[in-house]
Structure 1
């Protein structure tokens, strides 16, 4: 983990030194999704907000950092002793990569750690989100798969999002 953090810091430092065009910068957005797998049995919907800062690394590639808040609304589940509804929430802290296929289409990925901030006790875990999307100079629209893997299981969703580029 220490080597990963040092590597990310080195890449970001290189990004500061080599950033010469104006394609990077702040992005703020929203997302919504449908929980998949075991998470679909417990949660009904996923939504939240995202914040990122991207550093240009060339004409088509950007690296950056991202965080946000991702809320999972719980379903009422019958435990035999009554109905229980557990809401989950995570705060991801991740590195982000963005590759422009052409002027409008891109591939992206986030990789990091998601801190659990929902109801009751819960575990955070490794956070990952591959995505594909459409972009303009000021907006991004994307389709992605969000996963959080912890020792007790995984939470995942398929969703859409939009971001405004500052």
Structure 2
């Protein structure tokens, strides 16, 4: 079921490029430090995403985002007790928007993060971000959160964005 959903989303994103030929595709990579509930079970987060944005006004862009986020599980030892948390992953699918100002932008992504590993149902995904633009390259800082039942898996991220 998850594979069928991912294939459908990929086809929609690829098909939308011909509908909105004035748009721009951006590829991003990022790394983050888990915060809040996530810092107890993860040491580090790494991710990648693809965003399709088209201009709504001179400085406003909107579009869609699909990505992959991998959390590296934490292990530890306290006295005679040792533990190990398995890695866990999400595939965020979101609406994306940003306001472009000279040399920087502010934006946000909002959608749903599909849980990839067993027992991971996913949750609501949100990511406010700010970035510095240098032509087709951007340096992006963001906070991302995934609300799952009564917990939030969140990270403070830094990444690079490449315009195609």
TM-score (norm 1): 0.81
Cα-to-partner distance string for 1:5-35 (whole Å, 9 max, x where unaligned): xxxxxxxx9xx67x8xx5x311111000000
- Cα distance in 2 between the residues matched to 1:86 and 1:37: 18
Q: Which runs of 5+ in 1 are unaligned?
A: 1-12
Residue of structure 2 equivalent to 1:124: 122
* 1:74/1:148 CA distance change after superposition, 3 Å: same
Task: Determine if contact 1:42/1:77 at 8 Å carries over to the other structure.
Answer: no
- Cα distance in 1 between the residues matched to 2:149 and 2:77: 24
Provide the aligned length of Structure 1 versus Structure 2: 146
Residue of structure 2 equivalent to 1:63: 62
Residue of structure 2 equivalent to 1:38: 37
Task: Determine if contact 2:107/2:128 at 8 Å carries over to the other structure.
Answer: yes
Per the alignment, in what secondary structure is the counterpart of residue 38 of structure 2?
A: helix
- Cα distance in 1 between the residues matched to 2:151 and 2:162: 33
Cα-to-partner distance string for 1:126-158 (whole Å, 9 max, x where unaligned): 000000110133111111000000114110000
Deviation at 1:121, TM superposition (A): 0.9
Q: Which runs of 5+ in 2 are unaligned?
A: 1-15
RMSD (Å) for aligned C-alpha atoms = 2.0
* 1:77/1:123 CA distance change after superposition, 3 Å: farther
- Cα distance in 2 between the residues matched to 1:144 and 1:103: 19
- Cα distance in 1 between the residues matched to 2:139 and 2:93: 21
- Cα distance in 1 between the residues matched to 2:58 and 2:71: 36
TM-score (norm 2): 0.82
Cα-to-partner distance string for 1:101-136 (whole Å, 9 max, x where unaligned): x22111010000000113x31120000000011013
Name segments (4+ residues, structure 1) moved above 6 Å.
Answer: none
Q: Does structure 1 residue 85 correspond to structure 2 residue 81? A: no
